[in-house]
Amino acid sequence: MENSTFSVKRYTAKDKFLWQQFMETSKNATFLFQRDFMEYHADRFTDHSLLVLKKGKPVALLPANIADNTLYSHQGLTYGGLILHKKVKLKEVAAIFSSVLQFLNEKGIETLQIKMLPKIYNRLPADELDYLLFIAAAERVRADVLSVIDNKNPLRIATNRLEGVKKAQKQGLRIVEENDFKGFWEKILTPNLALRHQALPVHSLGEITDLASKFPINIVQFNVYKDNEIVGGATIFETEAVAHVQYISANEDKQQLGTLDFLFEYLITERFRNKRYFDFGTSNENHGKNINEGLLYWKECFGARSIVQSFYEVKTANYKKLATVFI
């Protein structure tokens, strides 16, 4: 689809260099939107990502997959939405979003679902899509709560968490930063998820190992050992401004050993103290409608407070509503 200013096209493998190059000029991209990350689960999703071009050059991207008659931004990623060039302004973004919706509508795709990028990941202010979804009569279909520490305004860690740190020190626990994920995946994470949630990690051991080899600066494993036995750990996805906890787990002795208190006190106050934000992620269950209160309490004891990640559904035919914004 083309209008006088912007053209929209579906991504193909031939566009990979163009896509990757755009990441450097975007104001709200993270490494999750790089094709080498997105395509690790290409067998599970039908990719239907879009490029928005102006005079043949990208001004916006939409990482996406398609299922039935709905386009999703992207079900295999933690967050999504329009990835914007740092120079585009609100009026242009309105035209870009309108072009995307019209393109989808003309292809017979009736609905677009967007899992918004939390604002802490933006390099520059980038709330244009939030406003335009309102104009396009989008419906908020889900909201998750993320527990985030702002390291420019830190809160004191609660004494009960520091008591856990003391337990761990007395037990001689040690933290190792490493690029070997096998021990944590096989001895801690996978058994715990199977026992408590009858689930598997989103990433298999092979997938996380492969991704970490491609993004060694961004994906880091921290394991906690008692003597030479692994007792817990955390997988961190690191972006420019945010250290995000992707996985966290410990064995059944975590309370007695203070395993996770010990690990996260170190991650927050030492290893990632210079990051703007430390993101524990969500404590939500049941599609956002419930919160694991104990998990939330534990995170808040470290000084984390709440931000909301919203999920929207918009009818593609509503692109017409965007034509009357500016007067």
Q: Residue 1: pLDDT above 60?
A: no
Average pLDDT of 132-153? Answer: 98
> Are 188 and 119 members of one domain?
no
Cα 87 from Cα 71, distance rounded (Å) = 26
Cα 176 from Cα 187, distance rounded (Å) = 16
Average pLDDT of 113-134? Answer: 97
In 27-181, beta strands by DSSP E: 46-47, 50-54, 57-62, 65-67, 70-73, 83-84, 111-115, 139-150, 174-178
**pLDDT single digits (tens) 172-217:** 999 999 999 999 999 999 999 998 888 899 999 999 999 999 999 9
> Are 124 and 213 members of one domain?
no
Cα 35 from Cα 58, distance rounded (Å) = 15
| 4 band by pLDDT with thresholds 50, 70 and 90 | low
- Using DSSP's 3-state secondary structure scheme, residue 130 falls into helix
| 3 band by pLDDT with thresholds 50, 70 and 90 | low
Which tokens belong to 60? Answer: 């916006």
The domain that contains 177 carries what CATH number? 3.40.630.30
Q: Angle at CA 96, nearest 5°, toward 139 and 125?
A: 75
Average pLDDT of 39-43? Answer: 89
Number of continuous H segments (helices) and E segments (strands) in the chain: 11, 17
pLDDT at 324: 92
Which tokens belong to 132? Answer: 């335009």
The reply to whether 280 falls in a domain is no
The reply to whether 300 falls in a domain is no
Q: Which residues contact 323 (CB under 8 A, 6 or more apart)?
A: 98
Cα 209 from Cα 262, distance rounded (Å) = 25
- Listed as own residue / partner, the contacts of 87-90 with beta carbons closer than 8 Å and 24 or more positions apart are 87/25, 88/59, 88/60, 90/128, 90/131
Strand order in the sheet with 83-84: 7-10, 50-54, 57-62, 83-84
> Are 258 and 182 members of one domain?
yes
Beta strand 83-84 with 70-73 is unpaired
**% of the chain with per-residue pLDDT over 70:** 99
The reply to whether 78 falls in a domain is yes
> Are 133 and 221 members of one domain?
no
> Are 69 and 98 members of one domain?
yes
In 87-192, beta strands by DSSP E: 111-115, 139-150, 174-178
What pTM, to 2 d.p., does this model score? 0.94
Q: Residue 2: pLDDT above 50?
A: no
The reply to whether 295 falls in a domain is no
Query: Structural domain of residue 252, as residue ranges?
Result: 153-275
**pLDDT single digits (tens) 259-284:** 999 999 999 999 999 999 999 999 99
Average pLDDT of 116-137? Answer: 98
- Using DSSP's 3-state secondary structure scheme, residue 35 falls into helix
Beta strand 57-62 with 83-84 is antiparallel
Question: Mean pLDDT across the chain, nearest whole number?
Answer: 96
The reply to whether 77 falls in a domain is yes
pLDDT at 197: 80
Based on the number of CB atoms within 10 Å of its own CB, is 13 exposed (0-12), middle (13-18) or buried (19 or more)?
exposed
Cβ(16)–Cβ(61) below 8 Å: no
Beta strand 65-67 with 57-62 is unpaired
pLDDT at 198: 85
Average pLDDT of 122-148? Answer: 98
The reply to whether 291 falls in a domain is no
Residue matched to tokens 């290893």: 271
> Are 87 and 117 members of one domain?
yes
